[in-house]
């Protein structure tokens, strides 16, 4: 059974600091996705990682994928309050057809 685990589950950090969120998954996959969810809202796509070694950056966020280690990281540089949200990783696996499984999410709070 595929498991997608994120850590930490909760993260409170000061503005200006750096931190990394980790996403581990338990089966082979070359495709991993990161999403952001603001309170009471839907999910929006942040990054699409489609191969081993893929690295994507947008503003203060950078995501990477190591398919051999079954690990993706979301690195936050010099956090600002606007980054406060819940971040989800999702893994796509082939099980008959492609299936999209989400991690438990990391709730990030950036303190001014």
Partner 1 sequence: NAGVTQTPKFQVLKTGQSMTLQCAQDMNHNSMYWYRQDPGMGLRLIYYSASEGTTDKGEVPNGYNVSRLNKREFSLRLESAAPSQTSVYFCASIHPGQQEAFFGQGTRLTVV
Footprint on this chain of partner 1 (rule: CB under 8 A): 4, 6, 9, 31, 33, 35, 41-45, 48, 50, 88, 90, 92, 96-105
Which residue number, 4 or 76, has a Cβ lying nearer to partner 1? 4
CB 65 within 8 A of CB 51: yes
Instruction: Provide, rounded to whole angstroms, the least separation between the CB of residue 4 and partner 1.
Output: 8
Which residue number, 66 or 92, has a Cβ lying nearer to partner 1? 92
Instruction: Provide, rounded to whole angstroms, the least separation between the CB of residue 112 and partner 1.
Output: 25
Instruction: Provide, rounded to whole angstroms, the least separation between the CB of residue 106 and partner 1.
Output: 10
Which residue number, 77 or 104, has a Cβ lying nearer to partner 1? 104
Question: CA 22, CA 69: separation in Å to the nearest integer?
Answer: 12
């Amino acid at each position: 059974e595929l498991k997608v685990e994120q850590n930490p589950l909760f993260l409170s950090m000061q503005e200006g600091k750096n931190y990394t969120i980790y996403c581990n998954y338990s089966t082979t996959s070359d495709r991993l996705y990161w999403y952001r969810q603001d309170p009471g809202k839907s999910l929006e796509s942040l990054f699409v990682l489609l191969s081993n070694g893929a690295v994507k950056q947008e503003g203060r966020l950078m995501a990477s994928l190591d398919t051999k280690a079954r690990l993706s990281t979301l690195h936050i540089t010099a956090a600002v309050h606007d980054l406060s949200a819940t971040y989800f990783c999702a893994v796509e696996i082939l099980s008959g057809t492609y299936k999209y499984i989400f991690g438990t999410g990391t709730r990030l709070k950036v303190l001014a």
